Structures are given as structure tokens and as C-alpha cells.
């Protein structure tokens, strides 16, 4: 299922009563729930932007209403073994802490105390209903991320070390090493702990909020249910993020500015992660901030609810628009709804006969991943009941009121939690392949909770989600080990080949050191590439690495095969083709199917050089040839200012295509690329950089997903911001040249 994103508009504060209200909740149709936030276009007040969410809560919404609609329905799932994450996001002073923590009066209590109250109540009921056969334990940990450092809030501030607590990845989850955990028996226990811990949290008065949170606060509520030797554990995480701040408005002093920079940076990384996930990128920059590592949006299993807090007044206008944009994209993020595994307690170790050091310990046996009955059944039932829309609608919708956008492209209201949700509505059909946004699919869930069973196959996603840095690391490590092993075997099988004066192991060491050094350089290079990757380029480089490794180990057949596999990632790359050709010759293979090789051989050197220069600049910087020749032997090349590339030489272009004339096939191709809104694709256009591509996509996104957001002609494209001068012509000529070179 997708991350559920709901918006909450806070009421006016006393000092704001005379201020101009510009944000309002709306519905797509009379009689439907509130699912739309409307806000004027800052550049044209007559125009209004609309952002659709799963649910929208207006100013008068009480704490209880929000909790009942958004959090309470997931408590059952928590006890069935699913992790639940709720986080508040928004600009400073918009009500995140109010939503999560709330006030001291009963009616003002926020999501966190209500959640705990619900957990204790359910736990007690479960124990009672099972006549004591099931025990439920609740344990808390509470920490903050302040200036990108993690501090335990359950420990007094004197105990903090300057570096804070380290993070580590374990079983696919990020854990804070050395974090304390306190068992909690009832609400009173919790409140005492929570109030004390909050006194340790860094807050300060800023111009925009008298009690501004200067840190992200993460409360983890671990629920452990024990029945006999069966242990089920799940965690509810409630996260109160610090708010982004526009320091032109805050008058922040030096200390506040440092905090603010850390807050803004982590929130920026979060928005980058959201963008990358919603685009289907392979690399998600989670690791660039501790907050995103911990939040692991889209990587964590279970249920995730994002509460976007909004202030309704004009002074927040641009900030509100920016957080509306980010959160709208967050709705595209899919999370896998998988319960945590049930484990069996270890029998106590004894020294009796049959035991002893030689006996292998029985490993903890995961139960079959029994899936969430509640949401699964509910979803299935409601999907049946739900009236079927004519066509699936994207979850994300930004549109303006200028056009009859609502009816033209109805943002199907995604049901409020108080109503059954319709996951099928917001999903793309699985049988329509969408290469631009490969997303992890939801796992099939059985409809019945199964009895404990012996180990079964672990459930895996049907699609590859991301190749993580760890996986790449593991892959490279494995390769290094393989090469070292094959070198060792080679050396052992040919003792006569070793110089007599050198002992075998010394030569081996020398070789392995060399191989290691070279592979490390390659790994570093690939890591760098992966950081900047926006397409299949790092995948291509990974294949090239394998080719290089195969060559290192003398396996020319495998090397050739890997080089050939890499070719689609770098089509027409002369050096790569040259390598393939040389290897083919060396292996005595016919060139019949190597048409490209022939083409290279016949292409005059000058022409080849010219074409190489016109090729995608990104490949020029990261070619395998570079890896071999430069990255290993030389330190990273000093960055010299990029020379402006000369536009590719093409035949005279018919100017009418730019002035509203009929679109040629190339013009249509250009428009298709632009309308794909895929930064990676657009960036590949001649004369486009990452920024220009991103700006264009942002502009189109703001215009909405309807007709007004599509570019229908090159003349129209030329009118868009940043598309002036010869930008469009250059992109067009680049495509003409590419077509001619094919």
C-alpha cells in the first residue's frame, strides 16, 4: 500500500486573527469527504492550485477526530504484528508538536498519548481474553536527532556524548546503538516518562514559534506479545519532525541558524528521497541524513501515515506550497505491508546430557510471514464494494481551477480512514508495464492468519526494489574474494610459473594486493557514479566492473559476455565496441553479429572522434575506459570548467516546427520526452543539465497533470521559463543528429 498522506490545517492563533487566510480544505465533489487543499498561485492570485490527499482536516478538527480517523484504525494491525509509523511534517509553527504531543488537557492530548492509551487498553483486553495465556509488554525508547546527532531522551543530558549515538543497519532496519528502553505498565507510567523526556528535548523560542522544536523527536513503542514460547513483536513509531524554516523570516541568531541549517538539510534530504522514490530511481539518498536513515520512508514495512501540518495564513504562502508539493509526491511511495515474524523463545540452555558445546543451537524459527488479516480483508472487502472508477487515477494531483480540472481529471477521493480505503483505486495496473517508474509491488497477502508453522520460504517482493549500497558492497566483496581465490588456485596449479627466487605466497600477496587496489579504485568510482546516477548508468558500470574483473582473472569469454551486456547501457560507445572487437578477435569469434564492431572499424578515425564528442557527456566522464586508464592509475581528475559543447552539426532545420508548424517525428519525440516529466530523460537532451531538467519538470508539475500541464508544440515549449534562446532548437538538433547517427 502507499504511504497515507493527510493534511491538517491548523486554526488561527490569537495573534493571527486579523491575518489573511489563503489555505482551505475542499472536496472534489459535493457530498464527498474533504480531500483537497486549495491555495492561490502566488504569481497569479486569480488562479488557485489544488492538491489532493488521502484526507484533509480543516481548522476545526479536534485531536480526537484526527486520532479516531487516522490512527485508531491501525491499532489492530499493530497487534497483528505490523509496524506502524506516524510522522508529522510541515513548516515551523504549523502544529506538528500539537498534533503529535498536544496539550495537557484531556481534549488537547495529541496522537502519542492517545496511541499509548489505546495500546495499554488493547493489551489489557488481550491478556484478559486469553485468561492470561498471552502476556503483553510495552517498552519505550525516545530519542531526538539534533544537528544530525542522535541523543537518547530517556537519559539525562549530562550523559550525552558530543558525537551522539551511532546508527547501524540490522535485519533491514536502522537501529540506534546504545539506546535505552524502558518498560511501561500503564498510561501513568508513560506520562511520567514522556514528560520527563520531553524536558530533555531541545526546543527554543523563535520568531515564528515560541516553543519551536529544534530537533526531530522519535518515540518508539515496542509491543511484545508472548504466548507460550511464541513471541510477536511490533513497533509503533511516532515522529515529530522539526519544521523547515525560512531564515529570512526567523531572525535566527547564530546558534539557531546552525540548528536551522541542520533541520533544513535533513528535510531537504527527505524531500529528495521522496522525489527519488516517486520517480522510481534506483538510488535513494537515505544515508545523507540520520533522520532519513531512521525514517527509511518506503523501505520500512508496515503502515506509514504522514500528517502534513499547514498554517492557513499568507505569511506561510511559499513554504506551504513547497510542503504541499513534497507531501503530494510522498503519496506515491509504496510500503510493503508485512507483519514482523513471530519467533519462538529459546529453551533455556542446560548442561544436561545431549547438550554441550558440540550441539548446534536450534535457530530461531521464523513463522510463515502471516500477513495482516485486518487490512488485507478490509481492503479486499472494500475494494469489492467500492464503485469502480472508469480508469485508474494517479494518486498525485495538482491542478488549477482555471480549467475544469476537477471534472476533467477527477482526483478520486482516497477514502478517509473512517471510511474504507480503496487501495485498488490508487494503484497502477500491474499488467501495464511502466518502465519509467518501476515500483515495489505490494505482496500478496493470505486472508487468514495462519497457525504457527515451520520455516517457509521468506516472502520476497516480486520486483527488485533498490540495489542498496550494502548490496553493492557485498557484490564487490564477493567478486574480490572470487578473484583472489582464482588467483590463488592459478598460482597453486602452476608452481613452475613462479620465479624461483620468490616464495609462492609473496607473489600471491603482490598480485592480490594489486587486484585489491585496482578493485577498490573501481568500487570507489562506481560508488561515486551511483551517487550521481539517474538512469541505468551505474548499472552499466557495474556490468563493466564485472567485465573488468573477468578480464583480470583471465576469463576472456566471461569478459566478452559482460562487455556485450554493458553495451545497451552505453550504446555506440567507441571504446567499448573496440574492446568487444578485440576480445572477439582474440577468442577467434566471427564478427558476423558484431555489426557495430564492423561499423566502428569502417568509421574513419576523425568521424569517430567527432561522434564520441557528441555522445552523452555523462558517459564520457564515466566510461569503462576511464575506469581502466584513469581512475586506477591517477587520482580523481581535477575538475576543469566544462567546455561548452558545440551543437551537433545537422542539416538546416525547418524553422517552422518551432513556430507552430506541424510537429515532425523528431519534434514529437522531443515533446514526448518533455511530457514524460522524467528528469533523467530530459537531462539527456542536448543543452540540458540536471537543473534545467528539474526546473522544467517542477514547472510542469505545478501546472498539473491535466491538459494544462502538457506541452503540445515546440512553440509552446519555447514559451516556458528557462526554454528561451536556442534551448529548444539545440535539444531538437541533438535529437536530429542522434537520429541521423543511428
Ligand X SMILES: Nc1ncnc2c1ncn2[C@@H]1O[C@H](COP(=O)(O)OP(=O)(O)OP(=O)(O)O)[C@@H](O)[C@H]1O
Binding-site members for ATP are 90-97
What residues does 303 pair with on adjacent strands?
84
- Measured from the CB of residue 163, what is the shortest distance to ligand X in angstroms? 25
- Measured from the CB of residue 142, what is the shortest distance to ligand X in angstroms? 16
Q: By C-beta, is 2 or 325 nearer to ligand X?
A: 325
Site string for ligand X, 35-74 (x = CB under 6 A): ----------------------------------------
Pairing of strands 24-26, 343-344: unpaired
- Among the listed ranges 8-16, 221-229, 253-261, 565-573, the one in contact with ligand X (CB under 6 A) is 8-16
- Among the listed ranges 87-95, 294-302, 425-433, 650-658, the one in contact with ligand X (CB under 6 A) is 87-95
> What does the block give as the cell for 582?
578485440
Q: How far from 418 is each of 28, 54, 55, 374, 488, CA to CA, in Å? A: 18, 11, 10, 15, 65
- Among the listed ranges 95-103, 219-227, 296-304, 418-426, the one in contact with ligand X (CB under 6 A) is 95-103
- Among the listed ranges 93-101, 484-492, 559-567, 590-598, the one in contact with ligand X (CB under 6 A) is 93-101
The answer to whether 10 contacts ligand X (rule: CB under 6 A) is: yes
Name which position in 40, 81, 90, 423 contacts ligand X (CB under 6 A).
90
- Among the listed ranges 91-99, 398-406, 481-489, 502-510, the one in contact with ligand X (CB under 6 A) is 91-99
Distance CA 367, CA 80 (A): 13
What residues does 37 pair with on adjacent strands?
25, 51
The answer to whether 323 contacts ligand X (rule: CB under 6 A) is: no
- Measured from the CB of residue 166, what is the shortest distance to ligand X in angstroms? 26
Pairing of strands 55-57, 216-227: unpaired
- Measured from the CB of residue 572, what is the shortest distance to ligand X in angstroms? 52
Contact 570, 596 (CB under 8 A): no
Q: By C-beta, is 312 or 572 nearer to ligand X?
A: 312
Among residues 169, 307, 173, 177, the alpha carbon closest in space to that of 240 is found at: 307
- Measured from the CB of residue 117, what is the shortest distance to ligand X in angstroms? 19
Contact 271, 244 (CB under 8 A): no
Of residues 280-309, those binding ligand X (CB under 6 A): 309
Distance CA 708, CA 555 (A): 56
- Among the listed ranges 14-22, 96-104, 177-185, 293-301, the one in contact with ligand X (CB under 6 A) is 96-104
- Measured from the CB of residue 93, what is the shortest distance to ligand X in angstroms? 5
Contact 459, 338 (CB under 8 A): yes
Distance CA 533, CA 459 (A): 29
- Measured from the CB of residue 241, what is the shortest distance to ligand X in angstroms? 7
Q: By C-beta, is 11 or 363 nearer to ligand X?
A: 11
Distance CA 614, CA 684 (A): 12
Name which position in 35, 80, 92, 237 contacts ligand X (CB under 6 A).
92
> What does the block give as the cell for 503?
616464495
Distance CA 375, CA 596 (A): 54
Q: By C-beta, is 64 or 527 nearer to ligand X?
A: 64
Name which position in 121, 188, 211, 586 contacts ligand X (CB under 6 A).
211
> Rg for the chain (alpha carbons), in Å?
29
- Measured from the CB of residue 110, what is the shortest distance to ligand X in angstroms? 9
Among residues 541, 467, 466, the alpha carbon closest in space to that of 277 is found at: 466
- Among the listed ranges 6-14, 440-448, 558-566, 594-602, the one in contact with ligand X (CB under 6 A) is 6-14
Of residues 525-554, those binding ligand X (CB under 6 A): none
Distance CA 79, CA 375 (A): 12
Contact 417, 73 (CB under 8 A): yes
Distance CA 679, CA 693 (A): 5
Buried b (16+ CB within 10 A) or exposed e, 469-484: eeebeebbeebbeebb
The answer to whether 13 contacts ligand X (rule: CB under 6 A) is: yes
The answer to whether 209 contacts ligand X (rule: CB under 6 A) is: yes
Q: By C-beta, is 240 or 523 nearer to ligand X?
A: 240
The answer to whether 95 contacts ligand X (rule: CB under 6 A) is: yes
The answer to whether 141 contacts ligand X (rule: CB under 6 A) is: no
Contact 123, 223 (CB under 8 A): yes
Q: By C-beta, is 250 or 400 nearer to ligand X?
A: 250
- Measured from the CB of residue 105, what is the shortest distance to ligand X in angstroms? 11
> What does the block give as the cell for 699?
514547472
The answer to whether 252 contacts ligand X (rule: CB under 6 A) is: no
Q: By C-beta, is 316 or 562 nearer to ligand X?
A: 316
Site string for ligand X, 346-385 (x = CB under 6 A): ----------------------------------------
Size of the site for ligand X (CB under 6 A): 18
Specify the DSSP element, H or E, that contains 226.
Answer: strand 216-227
Q: By C-beta, is 65 or 418 nearer to ligand X?
A: 65
Name which position in 33, 113, 243, 706 contacts ligand X (CB under 6 A).
243
- Measured from the CB of residue 455, what is the shortest distance to ligand X in angstroms? 45
What residues does 398 pair with on adjacent strands?
51
Number of helices (H), then strands (E), in the chain: 26, 18
* DSSP state letter for 388: P
- Measured from the CB of residue 214, what is the shortest distance to ligand X in angstroms? 8
- Among the listed ranges 17-25, 208-216, 272-280, 668-676, the one in contact with ligand X (CB under 6 A) is 208-216
Name which position in 5, 179, 242, 515 contacts ligand X (CB under 6 A).
242
Q: What is the residue whose three cell numbers read 546504545?
A: 178
Contact 332, 277 (CB under 8 A): yes
- Measured from the CB of residue 179, what is the shortest distance to ligand X in angstroms? 23
Specify the DSSP element, H or E, that contains 237.
Answer: strand 230-240
What residues does 237 pair with on adjacent strands?
85, 220
Q: What is the residue whose three cell numbers read 568510482?
A: 525
The answer to whether 213 contacts ligand X (rule: CB under 6 A) is: yes
Contact 398, 328 (CB under 8 A): yes
Pairing of strands 84-90, 303-310: parallel
- Measured from the CB of residue 266, what is the shortest distance to ligand X in angstroms? 13
Of residues 403-462, those binding ligand X (CB under 6 A): none
> What does the block give as the cell for 204?
527554543
- Measured from the CB of residue 207, what is the shortest distance to ligand X in angstroms? 11
Name which position in 35, 118, 141, 212 contacts ligand X (CB under 6 A).
212
Name which position in 4, 74, 98, 487 contacts ligand X (CB under 6 A).
98
Contact 78, 234 (CB under 8 A): yes
Of residues 599-638, those binding ligand X (CB under 6 A): none
Specify the DSSP element, H or E, that contains 304.
Answer: strand 303-310
Contact residues for ligand X (CB under 6 A)?
10-11, 13, 90, 92-98, 209, 211-213, 242-243, 309
Amino acid at each position: 500500500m502507499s504511504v497515507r498522506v493527510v493534511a491538517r490545517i491548523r486554526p488561527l492563533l490569537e495573534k493571527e486573527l486579523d491575518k489573511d487566510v489563503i489555505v482551505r480544505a475542499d472536496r472534489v465533489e459535493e457530498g464527498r469527504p474533504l480531500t483537497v487543499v486549495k491555495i492561490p498561485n502566488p504569481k497569479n492570485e486569480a488562479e488557485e492550485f489544488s492538491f489532493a490527499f488521502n484526507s484533509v482536516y480543516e481548522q476545526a478538527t479536534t485531536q480526537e477526530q484526527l486520532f479516531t480517523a487516522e490512527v485508531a484504525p491501525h491499532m489492530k494491525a499493530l497487534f497483528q504484528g505490523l509496524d506502524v509509523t506516524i510522522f508529522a511534517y510541515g513548516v515551523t509553527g504549523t502544529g506538528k508538536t500539537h498534533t503529535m504531543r498536544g496539550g495537557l488537557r484531556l481534549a488537547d492530548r495529541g496522537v502519542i498519548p492517545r496511541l499509548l492509551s489505546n495500546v495499554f487498553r488493547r493489551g489489557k483486553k488481550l491478556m484478559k481474553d486469553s485468561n492470561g495465556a498471552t502476556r503483553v509488554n510495552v517498552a519505550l525508547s525516545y530519542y531526538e536527532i539534533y544537528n544530525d546527532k542522535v541523543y537518547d531522551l530517556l537519559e539525562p543530558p549530562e550523559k550525552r556524548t558530543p558525537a551522539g549515538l551511532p546508527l547501524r543497519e540490522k535485519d533491514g532496519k536502522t537501529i540506534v546503538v546504545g539506546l535505552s528502553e524502558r518498560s511501561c505498565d500503564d498510561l501513568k507510567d508513560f506520562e511520567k516518562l514522556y514528560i520527563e523526556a520531553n524536558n530533555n528535548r531541545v526546543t527554543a523560542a523563535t520568531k515564528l514559534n515560541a516553543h519551536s522544536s529544534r530537533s526531530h523527536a522519535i518515540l518508539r513503542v515496542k509491543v511484545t506479545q508472548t504466548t507460550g514460547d511464541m513471541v510477536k513483536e511490533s513497533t509503533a513509531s511516532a515522529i515529530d519532525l522539526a519544521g523547515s524554516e525560512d531564515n529570512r523570516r526567523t531572525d535566527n541568531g547564530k546558534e539557531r541558524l546552525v540548528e536551522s541549517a541542520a533541520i533544513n538539510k535533513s528535510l531537504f534530504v527527505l524531500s529528495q528521497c521522496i522525489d527519488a522514490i516517486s520517480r522510481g530511481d534506483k538510488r535513494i539518498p537515505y544515508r545523507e541524513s540520520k533522520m532519513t536513515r531512521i525514517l527509511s520512508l518506503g523501505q520500512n514495512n508496515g503502515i506509514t501515515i504522514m500528517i502534513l501540518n499547514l498554517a492557513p495564513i499568507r505569511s506561510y504562502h511559499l513554504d506551504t506550497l513547497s510542503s504541499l508539493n513534497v507531501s503530494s509526491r510522498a503519496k506515491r511511495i509504496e510500503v510493503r505491508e508485512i507483519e514482523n515474524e513471530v519467533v519462538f523463545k529459546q529453551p533455556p540452555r542446560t548442561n544436561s546430557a545431549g547438550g554441550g558445546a558440540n550441539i548446534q543451537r536450534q535457530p530461531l524459527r521464523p513463522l510463515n510471514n502471516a500477513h495482516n488479516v485486518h487490512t488485507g480483508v478490509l481492503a479486499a472487502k472494500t475494494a469489492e464494494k467500492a464503485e469502480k472508477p472508469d480508469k485508474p487515477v494517479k494518486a498525485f494531483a495538482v491542478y488549477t481551477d482555471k480549467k475544469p480540472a476537477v471534472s476533467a481529471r477527477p482526483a478520486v477521493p482516497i477514502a478517509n480512514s473512517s471510511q474504507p480505503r480503496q487501495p485498488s483505486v490508487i494503484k497502477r495496473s500491474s499488467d501495464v508495464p511502466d518502465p519509467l517508474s518501476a515500483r515495489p509491488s505490494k505482496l500478496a497477502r493470505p486472508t487468514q492468519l495462519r497457525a504457527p508453522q515451520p520455516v517457509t520460504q521468506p516472502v520476497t517482493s516480486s520486483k527488485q526494489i533498490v540495489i542498496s549500497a550494502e548490496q553493492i558492497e557485498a557484490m564487490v566483496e564477493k567478486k574480490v574474494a572470487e578473484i583472489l581465490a582464482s588467483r590463488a588456485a592459478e598460482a597453486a596449479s602452476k608452481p613452475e610459473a613462479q620465479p624461483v627466487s620468490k616464495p609462492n605466497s609473496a607473489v600471491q600477496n603482490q598480485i592480490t594486493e594489486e587486484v585489491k587496489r585496482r578493485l577498490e579504485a573501481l568500487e570507489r568510482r562506481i560508488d561515486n557514479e551511483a551517487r550521481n546516477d539517474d538512469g541505468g548508468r551505474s548499472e552499466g558500470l557495474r556490468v563493466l566492473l564485472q567485465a573488468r574483473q573477468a578480464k583480470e582473472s583471465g576469463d576472456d569469454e566471461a569478459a566478452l559476455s559482460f562487455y556485450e551486456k554493458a553495451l545497451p547501457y552505453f550504446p555506440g560507445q567507441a571504446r567499448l565496441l573496440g574492446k568487444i572487437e578485440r576480445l572477439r578477435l582474440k577468442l577467434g569469434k566471427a564478427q558476423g553479429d558484431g555489426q557495430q564492431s564492423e561499423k566502428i572499424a569502417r568509421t574513419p578515425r576523425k568521424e569517430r572522434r567527432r561522434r564520441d564528442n557528441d555522445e552523452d557527456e555523462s558517459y564520457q566522464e564515466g566510461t569503462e575506459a576511464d575506469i581502466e586508464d584513469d581512475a586506477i592509475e591517477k587520482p580523481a581528475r581535477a575538475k576543469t570548467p566544462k567546455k561548452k559543447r558545440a551543437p551537433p552539426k545537422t542539416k538546416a532545420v525547418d524553422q517552422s516546427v518551432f513556430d507552430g508548424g506541424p510537429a515532425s517525428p523528431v519534434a514529437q519525440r522531443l515533446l514526448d520526452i518533455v511530457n514524460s516529466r522524467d528528469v533523467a530523460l530530459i537531462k539527456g537532451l542536448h543543452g540540458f543539465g540536471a537543473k534545467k531538467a528539474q526546473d522544467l519538470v517542477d514547472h510542469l508539475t505545478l501546472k498539473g497533470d491535466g491538459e494544462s500541464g502538457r506541452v503540445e508544440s515546440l512553440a509552446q515549449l519555447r514559451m516556458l521559463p528557462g526554454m528561451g534562446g536556442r534551448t529548444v532548437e539545440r535539444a531538437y538538433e541533438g535529437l536530429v543528429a542522434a537520429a541521423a547517427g543511428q
